[in-house]
Structure 1
């Protein structure tokens, strides 16, 4: 999972091809740490998954632009320009089912 930085996130977002996912987190959030580990397992189950990560502390404009209400948040782009937010990280299986369509469309 590639980590976006504050200086280039806008370029990364425009260059990204749909479908893809963006894991939005903060470094001191315990729930974010658990969600990242769960996403790591989901990425092993779905190799080649188009996913990146972004630290919301250094890019608050991202929260405004996509109306992020809390972290962890998973932004899902199924089509260019259309994103939806997912806040539930219930289990690895749920994440795999949520992310599987992104991998299928990316192939």
Structure 2
């Protein structure tokens, strides 16, 4: 997982894991995302400590943490608060990052 910065926030398409350091549920969610990244051998998500980005939290109406914030083509597509399981998060990744599942020739 890569750390977030202002330049990345300006990207048109991005998946951001929003958390706080002392949130137990956030640690469970992070483990789910790490498992997915390990399978793909790539950093798919950006890491954001919500405490350091209060204006982003307010502007994007983030209700709680953990949150997987998905922006595609400049539009907020999803704010996922219930991570539940690896297959649940994969369903979102397949929807927004189908390119990860295309066969390479």
TM-score range (shorter-chain normalised) is 0.7 to 0.9
> Residues 1-107 of structure 1 correspond to what in structure 2 (within 5 A)?
1-4=1-4, 9-14=5-10, 16-18=11-13, 20-48=14-42, 50-105=44-99
Deviation at 1:44, TM superposition (A): 2.4
TM-score by length of 1: 0.81
Relative contact order, CA 8 A, sep 6+: which one is greater? 1
**C-alpha distance in structure 2 between counterparts of 1:96 and 1:90, whole Å:** 11
80 and 49 in structure 1: CA distance in 2 versus 1, 3 angstrom threshold: farther
Q: Structure 1: which 4+ aligned runs deviate by more than 6 Å? A: none
**C-alpha distance in structure 1 between counterparts of 2:91 and 2:43, whole Å:** 12
3-state SS of the aligned residue for 1:85? strand
Between structure 1 and structure 2, the one with the greater Rg is 2
**C-alpha distance in structure 2 between counterparts of 1:48 and 1:100, whole Å:** 15
**C-alpha distance in structure 1 between counterparts of 2:59 and 2:76, whole Å:** 12
**C-alpha distance in structure 1 between counterparts of 2:93 and 2:43, whole Å:** 8
Root-mean-square deviation (CA, aligned residues, Å) is: 2.0
